C-alpha cells in the first residue's frame, strides 16, 4: 500500500483510477486506503509546488538555526510548537548539531524577515541564540527541479 502514497506524493492530482493502473492495486482498495489515511491524518493535505520566482513574486526565505536552553522534563517540543504558530514560519525541524531547531521563515523583504527574527523569534522563552541564512536561489523544491535542463551541446554522430 506504500506505493499509493508514493504516487500521491509525486502527483497529488493522481486519481484512484490512475493509481490503480500504476500499482496494480484494485481501485476500490485504493479509494479505501486514501480515505482511511485522510481520516487518520497520514495524508495531511494535497499540495502544489509553485516556482514563485518564475511568477515574479518577490518572496524572501531564510533558514534560521535556533539554540534552545534545555529544561529538565520539557525537551524541545514546547518551544518548537510555540515557534510554529507564527504566521511567518513555513517549517520547524528538530536537528542534530550545534543548534537545536532549523526554522524556515518567509517574508516580503529581508528587513521583514530580519525584524521577525530579532523581535519575535529571539524573544521566545528559552531561545538563547539564532543564526540566519537567507536563501539566494532555490534549485529544487519538494523533489521538483526548478531549473531548466541545459540543452545538449554534443555534436551528432553519424555512423
The full set of domain ranges for the chain reads: 2-40, 52-137
List pLDDT tens digits, range 57-90: 889 999 999 999 988 888 899 999 999 999 999 9
Residues with Cβ within 8 Å of residue 71, at least 6 apart in sequence: 126
List pLDDT tens digits, range 91-111: 999 999 999 999 999 999 999
Reading the block at residue 120, the C-alpha cell is 519575535
Q: What is the DSSP letter of 114?
A: H
**Torsion sign (Cα): 121, 127, 133, 135:** negative
In the prediction, which pLDDT does 62 show? 98
Fold of the domain built from segment(s) 52-137: Alpha-Beta Plaits (3.30.70)
Whether the per-residue pLDDT at 19 is higher than 90: the answer is: yes
Whether the per-residue pLDDT at 2 is higher than 80: the answer is: yes
Whether the per-residue pLDDT at 151 is higher than 80: the answer is: no
Amino acid at each position: 500500500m506504500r506505493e499509493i502514497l508514493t504516487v500521491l506524493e509525486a502527483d497529488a492530482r493522481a486519481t484512484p483510477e490512475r493509481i490503480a493502473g500504476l500499482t496494480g492495486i484494485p481501485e476500490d482498495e485504493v479509494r479505501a486506503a486514501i480515505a482511511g489515511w485522510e481520516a487518520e491524518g497520514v495524508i495531511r493535505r494535497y499540495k502544489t509546488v509553485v516556482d514563485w520566482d518564475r511568477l515574479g513574486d518577490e518572496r524572501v526565505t531564510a533558514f534560521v538555526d535556533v539554540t534552545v536552553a534545555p529544561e529538565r522534563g520539557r525537551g524541545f517540543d514546547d518551544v518548537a510548537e510555540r515557534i510554529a504558530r507564527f504566521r511567518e514560519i513555513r517549517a520547524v525541524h528538530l536537528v542534530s548539531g550545534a543548534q537545536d531547531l532549523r526554522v524556515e521563515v518567509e517574508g516580503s523583504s529581508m528587513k521583514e524577515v530580519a525584524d521577525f527574527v530579532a523581535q519575535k523569534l529571539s524573544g521566545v522563552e528559552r531561545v538563547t541564540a539564532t543564526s540566519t541564512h537567507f536563501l539566494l536561489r532555490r534549485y529544487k523544491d519538494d523533489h521538483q527541479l526548478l531549473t531548466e535542463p541545459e540543452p545538449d551541446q554534443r555534436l551528432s554522430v553519424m555512423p
